[in-house]
Structure 1
Amino acid sequence: MNFQQKYTFSFPTVIRFGAGVVAELGDYLKSQHLSKPLLVTDPLVRELDFFTKIISRLEQAGISVEVFSEVHKNPVKSDVLKGKKSYQETDRDSIIGIGGGVGLDVARAIALSINHHRDLFDYDDLIGGDQYVTEPIPHFVTIPTTAGTGSEVGRSAIISEDESKKKRILFAPSLMAKIVFADPELTMDLPAFVTAATGMDALTHNMEAYLSKNWHPMCSGIALEGIQLIGKSLEKATLRPDIESRSNMLMASMMGAVAFQKGLGVVHSLAHPLSSLLDTHHGLANAVNLPQGLAFNYGGSEEKFDQMALMLGLNKGEGSQLPVYIANLNARLGLPANLTSIGVLPSHIATLSDLAFADFCHPNNPKPVSQYDFEIMYTNAL
């Protein structure tokens, strides 16, 4: 790939990829006869220089911009309802999600809510709520600023209940963005810790998708390529970033999000309760739990582990070394080595295990997981 070049491809939505492509946003909106977007992001991204430049370019192009950024680190329903109110009261005609998973998930949920007026969680995919997604979605554009969740190419949003913090999945094919502007330059100023944590999120997506028991050979192939890109790029993107490493990570992040339509697994079920209970960053939660999840899944998936090991640069037949490899990678990236380091206490284990067992990801794991298994993995990760 020529990293000075800009590319357009579809999979399945249109993706505009390359350094500087975000500058095309104003012309794109005008080509679609849109002039009043709601820009949805999080409070941190809102303060960054590139976000200010995006607004300035849009205003210079005659675009009326309204910004909504009142969102929690792990977004909740009330965030979405506030965004819906902002969209309606300021008479917007489109929605642009800018950011990592938080900004993009909230933007997608707001897009769903505009013309769908049931309770937001009536649309929860896990209870068949997608059947109620019948009305048009406002024109929706996504712009990722991290290389982790891959939410920009997704069709779902994970939003928590305000009180219980239980995670809900809002899903429908119509929630896919009309176009993605994937500009690696927007990720260049991310702090090393954020780059590492989001990069491990992308790696977890690709690895769990590849291991998932569901059959989807195209997703499996994409996941392996994503693993390989991350293996050769994550450390450099974190410690010595350049446009090539950041581009590779952004591409691998999107690959992970495409691949995990095949399913995720035990690591995500371990990670989600940490975000709900302790407000842990999702990528960090995945990173700390990934060695335990891999160790649990090795038996019965030896061939797949060997294939992933090759993609990460290990020798033939070294799949059993992946848990140790990931633990060492976390250390090289400066990420915490255990759950104790991120505030987990032994007294949390029972509640975390209950939440993990109730989570929606582990049914796709390559082997069954019991509540006791979760207790053991959390305890070993302390």
Structure 2
Amino acid sequence: MTFDHIYQYNFPTTIRFGAGAIKELPAYLRQNGLKRPLIVTDSTIAVLPFFKTIVSDLRIHGIAVEVFSDIHKNPVKSDVYKGTEVWDDTARDSVIGIGGGAALDVARAIVLRVNHREDLFKYDDLIGGDVYVTNEVPHFITVPTTSGTGSEVGRSAIIADDETHQKKILFSPKLMAKIVFADPALTMDLPSFITAATGMDALTHNMEAFLAKNPHPLCDGIALEGISLIKDALEPATNRPDIESRSKMLMASMMGAIAFQKGLGVVHSLAHPLSSLLDTHHGLANAVNLPYGMEFNIEGFEDKFRRIARTLELKEENGKAVVEYLFNLNTKINIPHHLGDIGVKSEHIETLADLAFADFAHPNNPKPVSRADFKHLYLTAL
């Protein structure tokens, strides 16, 4: 792959990939007769120069843009309802999600809600709610600005209950974007902390997908290649960013999201409660927990860890070397090794263990995880 060219991939949806791809957005909208998009983003991105340039370029081309950015960094149901009110009040014809996982999850949930007006959590996939996603949905476009969740190529949105903080999954093949404009140049100005945290999120997705218990050889291959790209790119993307490292990270992020249709695991169940209870950045929560979760999974799955170690080109091809690599990588990109360093206190552990055990991710872990296991993992990481 060269990094001065725009490529098109059609997997799982149409992806325009390369520096400058975002410049194709106005023409795409006009070609599809879309003149009144609702852009969903977050309050941080909404004030950045590159975002203002995107909006200005659309307006110059006669596109009447409305921006909604009033969302939490860990999205909740009320964010989706507020965004849908903006859709109703301003007569939009399409949705463009621009941002990281939070913005794209809210955008996708608004896409669902436009023509599905019962309680949002009726459509929770964990209780079979996907069968109620029967109506048409608006034209949906995604533009990632971080290399982490890979939500731009996904079919689901994770939205939390405002009161209980429990996360729900809204899922349907209808919620996949019609097209993704994946422009690594949009990630060039990300602060190093966000680059590091989102990059470790992408690594967690690829590693957990590879280990997940459901058989899916296609996803296994994608996950290993994603791990390989991150091995080469995350540290330079964080500390010495250039378009090559940013391109590799953006591709690896999408690969992780494609791979984790196979499932996730213990690390995400450790991380989700930190976000819902303590408002911890999701990528940071995954990053700190990843070495501990991987260590938990080694026994019984030595062959899988041998393949991960080989992909990482480690001298010792075993699980212990993988865990050591993860701690070392966190050090190189300035991620702390302990939960106590990111605001977790001993009095949080019991509640965190309850939430983790109730989480949707760990049933796909390669081995069962009990509440006692979660408590032990939190205490070890504390």
Mark yes or no: TM-score above 0.5.
yes
Which residue matches 2:166?
166
Which residue matches 1:248?
248
> Shift of the alpha carbon at 1:309?
1.1
Confirm or deny that 1:41 pairs with 2:41.
yes
Which residue matches 2:156?
156
The C-alpha deviation readout for 1:254-279, integer Å capped at 9, x for no partner, is 00000000000000000000001100
| Mean Cα deviation higher: 332-341 or 204-213 | 332-341
- Which residue identity is paired with 1:299? E
Secondary structure in 2 matching 1:43: coil
Which residue matches 1:57?
57
> Shift of the alpha carbon at 1:183?
0.1
Secondary structure in 2 matching 1:226: helix
Confirm or deny that 1:292 pairs with 2:267.
no
TM superposition score normalised by structure 1: 0.99
The C-alpha deviation readout for 1:14-37, integer Å capped at 9, x for no partner, is 000000000110000000000000
Residues 188 and 246 in structure 2, CA contact (< 8 A), matched pair in contact too: yes
Which residue matches 1:335?
335
Residues 306 and 320 in structure 1, CA contact (< 8 A), matched pair in contact too: no
**d(CA) in 1 for partners of 2:191, 2:307:** 31
> Shift of the alpha carbon at 1:63?
0.2
Gaps of 5+ in 2: none
**d(CA) in 2 for partners of 1:71, 1:146:** 17
Which residue matches 1:105?
105
Confirm or deny that 1:270 pairs with 2:236.
no
The C-alpha deviation readout for 1:332-380, integer Å capped at 9, x for no partner, is 1011121000111111111000000000000000001100000110000
**d(CA) in 2 for partners of 1:280, 1:97:** 22
**d(CA) in 1 for partners of 2:354, 2:129:** 24
**d(CA) in 2 for partners of 1:73, 1:238:** 21
Confirm or deny that 1:301 pairs with 2:301.
yes
Residues 295 and 319 in structure 2, CA contact (< 8 A), matched pair in contact too: no
Confirm or deny that 1:319 pairs with 2:319.
yes
Residues 302 and 318 in structure 2, CA contact (< 8 A), matched pair in contact too: no
> Shift of the alpha carbon at 1:317?
2.2
Confirm or deny that 1:177 pairs with 2:183.
no
**d(CA) in 2 for partners of 1:2, 1:110:** 36
**d(CA) in 2 for partners of 1:319, 1:297:** 9
Q: What pairs with 1:199-238 in structure 2 (closer than 5 Å)? A: 199-238=199-238
**d(CA) in 2 for partners of 1:246, 1:321:** 26
TM superposition score normalised by structure 2: 0.99
**d(CA) in 1 for partners of 2:211, 2:36:** 43
- Which residue identity is paired with 1:44? T
> Shift of the alpha carbon at 1:319?
3.1
Secondary structure in 1 matching 2:190: coil
Confirm or deny that 1:198 pairs with 2:195.
no
Which residue matches 1:283?
283
- Which residue identity is paired with 2:55? I
> Shift of the alpha carbon at 1:318?
3.2
Secondary structure in 2 matching 1:30: helix
Residues 153 and 258 in structure 2, CA contact (< 8 A), matched pair in contact too: yes
- Which residue identity is paired with 1:199? G
- Which residue identity is paired with 2:221? G
> Shift of the alpha carbon at 1:316?
5.2
> Shift of the alpha carbon at 1:315?
2.4
- Which residue identity is paired with 1:123? Y
Confirm or deny that 1:141 pairs with 2:153.
no
Identical columns (%): 66
Residues 307 and 319 in structure 1, CA contact (< 8 A), matched pair in contact too: no
**d(CA) in 1 for partners of 2:300, 2:254:** 28
- Which residue identity is paired with 2:15? I
Residues 302 and 320 in structure 1, CA contact (< 8 A), matched pair in contact too: no
- Which residue identity is paired with 2:239? L
Q: Which runs of 4+ in 1 moved over 2 A?
A: 315-320
Residues 264 and 361 in structure 1, CA contact (< 8 A), matched pair in contact too: yes
| Residue correspondences, number | 382
Secondary structure in 1 matching 2:329: helix
Which residue matches 2:126?
126
- Which residue identity is paired with 2:348? H
Residues 43 and 69 in structure 2, CA contact (< 8 A), matched pair in contact too: yes
Secondary structure in 2 matching 1:313: coil
The C-alpha deviation readout for 1:170-194, integer Å capped at 9, x for no partner, is 0000000000000000000000000
- Which residue identity is paired with 2:94? S
Residues 227 and 312 in structure 1, CA contact (< 8 A), matched pair in contact too: yes
The C-alpha deviation readout for 1:219-276, integer Å capped at 9, x for no partner, is 0000000000000100000000000000000000000000000000000000000001
Which residue matches 1:77?
77
Secondary structure in 2 matching 1:221: helix
Secondary structure in 2 matching 1:180: strand
